[in-house]
Amino acid sequence: MACLSLPMAPAMADEGAALYQSHCAMCHMDGAQGQPGRVPPLAGRMGRLSATGEGRRYVAAVLLNGMMGRIMVGDETYAGFMPVFRMLSDTQVAATLNHLARLPDGAGAAPYTAADIAAARMEKLSPPAVTDRRTMPEARLPPP
């Protein structure tokens, strides 16, 4: 149990950053700032979403199942499609989510593990079904 309180290993942090750059940055941009009106920002939001069990399950579902439809982030509406990243291993998805949860300042929620992602992978959802689930954790987000 003591190892759970240790910071994420540098190799996993590096892997998460590299995976983000190769799979996510083309849409969500460097630093996960998003593109106004096109792609929502992730920096500063993923850590807050990942702080609750419901939010953790939701963000894992987004990466594993994709997302499609209209969403609100802050005061801005986004309509689009997030691709499915099921081809990534459980370790790779966990590393990517851990990287995102630590943006912008390095602080984040409890680390995701490969076991967390393996459990989330058991539930297969359509991209619109993931979008429908979004309102639940989003409404409960702690204020920034």
Domain parsing of the chain, residue ranges: 10-139
Mean pLDDT of 30-39: 92
Confidence tier at 13 by pLDDT (50, 70, 90) = low
Longest dimension (CA), the chain: 43
User: Would you tell me how many other CB atoms lie within 10 Å of the CB of residue 17?
Assistant: 18
Q: For the whole model, what pTM was predicted?
A: 0.84
How large a percentage of the chain has pLDDT more than 90?
A: 56
36: Cβ contacts below 8 Å, ≥ 6 apart: 76
* pLDDT score of 141 more than 80: no
10-139 CATH fold: Cytochrome Bc1 Complex; Chain D, domain 2 (1.10.760)
Tokens of 118: 């393996």
- Higher per-residue confidence, 91 vs 132: 91
* pLDDT score of 29 more than 60: yes
**Inter-residue contact 134 to 71 (CB < 8 Å):** yes
Q: Average pLDDT over the chain, rounded to whole? A: 85
* pLDDT score of 117 more than 50: yes
Tokens of 123: 């539930």
